Structure 1
Amino acid sequence: MQVSVLASGSTGNTSLIVTKKHKILMDAGLSGKKTKDLLAQVGVDIKEIDMAFLSHDHADHSSGLGVLMRRYPQINAFANQGTWKYLIDTNKIGKLPEEQINLIEPGQTKTFEDLDITAFATSHDAAQPQYYVFSSGGKRVAFLTDTGYVSEKVEDTIKDADAYMMEFNYDPQLLRDGPYSWSLKSRILSDVGHLSNEEAGNALLDVVSSKTKHIFLAHRSQHNNTEVLAHETAEKILVDGDANLDSDVKIIDTEPDKPTDLFEV
């Protein structure tokens, strides 16, 4: 399996997972043109994408999905019933081709040739948020952002993965001192908000193992965090702490407007 975080942050999120049989988008929160350009930067033609998995209905994760489904009929899109219902009822992403709409519910695992995908519920202020573990060729990649906390059930689902894409959204002091209204700050800090750098690091501490070789630091706030703070916190908790990690683990920073390398997992 290969993975690239194409874009990650409050302005839009999408990632690429590649197996021998499939090329998959995880979320679609950018325009079709931008998604096409980002894929090209890692050597993938958007016409090769055959599946997309949606985490939740917020625009920075879903706004580009309707365009992609209408423009590229080979893309089968997956989300749970609550997310589809919200998007269809509100017409947030336009009319969707019914034949490309597919369901995957929390707790389900679906198999597509060389790929297994397990969905799990998260805690966020969206219609029915969930994230996924992608498994292929004996390797596992866990994606988790946009959650106010990480439950034991989620930890059990994502533990011992070969790679993680994990939310390092905010530094608490920068958030408190920053420009947001108090109501928005309270929402971010709540159990249906986002993970701080320290919360994310501690959650990873409970699930990583010597198998883990790649950790993508994702969904970093451009107002309430910095790349340096997120990276230093991850290193302090994981590398300098008690994490059961090999010395060659890669902690990878992600950006809102350019992709990471396409890493072999």
Structure 2
Amino acid sequence: MRMCSIASGSSGNCIYIGSEQHHILIDAGISGKRVEAGLNSLELSGQDIDGILLTHEHSDHIKGLGVLARKYGFPIYATPGTTAAVKAMTNLGKIEEGLFHEIHADENFQIGDLEIAPFTISHDAAEPVAYRVECGGKKMAVATDLGVYTDYTIDHLQDLDVLLLEANHDIHMLEVGAYPYYLKQRISGDRGHLSNETAGKLLCQVLHENMKGIFLGHLSKENNYAELAYETVKLELLLGESPYRAEELPLSVASREERSACVAV
């Protein structure tokens, strides 16, 4: 089982997870051409994809969906709220009705040998979810676009081998930046995005010694940068009295422009 980020950031997100036999994408918020290039770099093509899982309907998560769906016809898995919101959009072009498959938070489903567990997240979208994926006892999760986290969130991120976790913004950069007040409030609110500090605090709750990969993802282009996210999360781990030394953790930042390293377990 392996995971890599084809792209992750406020301008576009697409994450690959797969086993030897089955392959999925979580979101397609970049161009179809970039998705295909990312898959090609993994020695895969769109024809190998068994399904695409949507977290929610915002553009940075579905931008390439229409192109890919028309070209490859793979199943699209989404909650009823997300599905309705996507169908209401006019900028994706026509997507065949039969491609949509309804899923629900806290109801697991299978795609080949991959067991998918969607779970609710707090974000200003129709019916957003994050995903935990398991195969052969190995577990991975993608958790971005969380305004807040709760014990419910922590429970779904336990015992993971690989985690991609949102570290969207630096609080101080957001406060002094050029965004209008309402947008600053939205981003920092309970239905917005996790700051670097909050990501570090959440990570403290789910770390264990057998984690093989931790990606920080969905970084804001305007209110964050990779080195700052990395160092802030490391500091939170230190301040949180985590038993794990930050420099020994398999921690990296997923790029908005380039495919990440692939973590296999």
Asked if Structure 1 and Structure 2 have the same fold, meaning a TM-score greater than 0.5 normalized by the shorter chain, the answer is yes
Q: C-alpha displacement at 1:245, in angstroms?
A: 4.1
Aligned residue in 2 for 1:151: 150
| Separation of aligned partners in 1, 2:238 and 2:260 | 21
Question: Which one-letter code corresponds to 1:91 in the other structure?
Answer: T
Q: C-alpha displacement at 1:46, in angstroms?
A: 2.3
Aligned residue in 2 for 1:42: 42
Per the alignment, do residues 223 and 38 of structure 1 end up closer, same or farther by CA in structure 2, a change over 3 Å counting?
same
Q: Secondary structure at the match of 1:216?
A: strand
Q: Secondary structure at the match of 1:125?
A: coil
| Separation of aligned partners in 2, 1:241 and 1:167 | 18
Per the alignment, do residues 222 and 250 of structure 1 end up closer, same or farther by CA in structure 2, a change over 3 Å counting?
same
TM-score (norm 1): 0.95
List aligned pairs for 1:1-265, cutoff 5 A: 1-73=1-73, 75-238=74-237, 241-245=240-244, 248-265=248-265
| Separation of aligned partners in 1, 2:162 and 2:239 | 19
Q: C-alpha displacement at 1:89, in angstroms?
A: 2.3
Q: C-alpha displacement at 1:51, in angstroms?
A: 1.0
Question: Which one-letter code corresponds to 2:22 in the other structure?
Answer: H
Q: C-alpha displacement at 1:38, in angstroms?
A: 1.9
Unaligned runs of 5+ in 2: none
Q: C-alpha displacement at 1:164, in angstroms?
A: 0.8
Q: Secondary structure at the match of 1:206?
A: helix
Question: Which one-letter code corresponds to 2:39 in the other structure?
Answer: L
| Separation of aligned partners in 2, 1:191 and 1:241 | 22
| Separation of aligned partners in 2, 1:47 and 1:244 | 44
| Separation of aligned partners in 1, 2:239 and 2:113 | 36
Contact 1:20 1:114 in 2 (8 A): no
Summarize deviations over 1:173-225 as a string: whole Å, max 9, x none: 11111111111111001001000000011011112222222110101111101
| Separation of aligned partners in 2, 1:192 and 1:237 | 22
| Separation of aligned partners in 1, 2:93 and 2:83 | 12
Unaligned runs of 5+ in 1: none
| Separation of aligned partners in 2, 1:244 and 1:137 | 28
Q: C-alpha displacement at 1:123, in angstroms?
A: 0.6
Question: Paired residues, what number?
Answer: 264
Question: Which one-letter code corresponds to 2:179 in the other structure?
Answer: Y
| Separation of aligned partners in 1, 2:213 and 2:241 | 17
| Separation of aligned partners in 2, 1:56 and 1:127 | 7
Q: C-alpha displacement at 1:239, in angstroms?
A: 5.9
Question: Which one-letter code corresponds to 1:139 in the other structure?
Answer: K
Contact 1:42 1:261 in 2 (8 A): no
Question: Which one-letter code corresponds to 2:56 in the other structure?
Answer: H
Per the alignment, do residues 44 and 244 of structure 1 end up closer, same or farther by CA in structure 2, a change over 3 Å counting?
farther
Summarize deviations over 1:102-159 as a string: whole Å, max 9, x none: 1111111012332100000111111111110011121111111111001111111111
The percent of aligned pairs where both chains have the same amino acid is 36
Q: Secondary structure at the match of 1:90?
A: coil
| Separation of aligned partners in 2, 1:43 and 1:155 | 34
Summarize deviations over 1:70-100 as a string: whole Å, max 9, x none: 1102x11100000001111233422221222
TM-score (norm 2): 0.95
Contact 2:25 2:52 in 1 (8 A): yes
Per the alignment, do residues 162 and 36 of structure 1 end up closer, same or farther by CA in structure 2, a change over 3 Å counting?
same
Summarize deviations over 1:212-264 as a string: whole Å, max 9, x none: 22110101111101111110112222367533548753101111111012211
Contact 2:212 2:263 in 1 (8 A): no
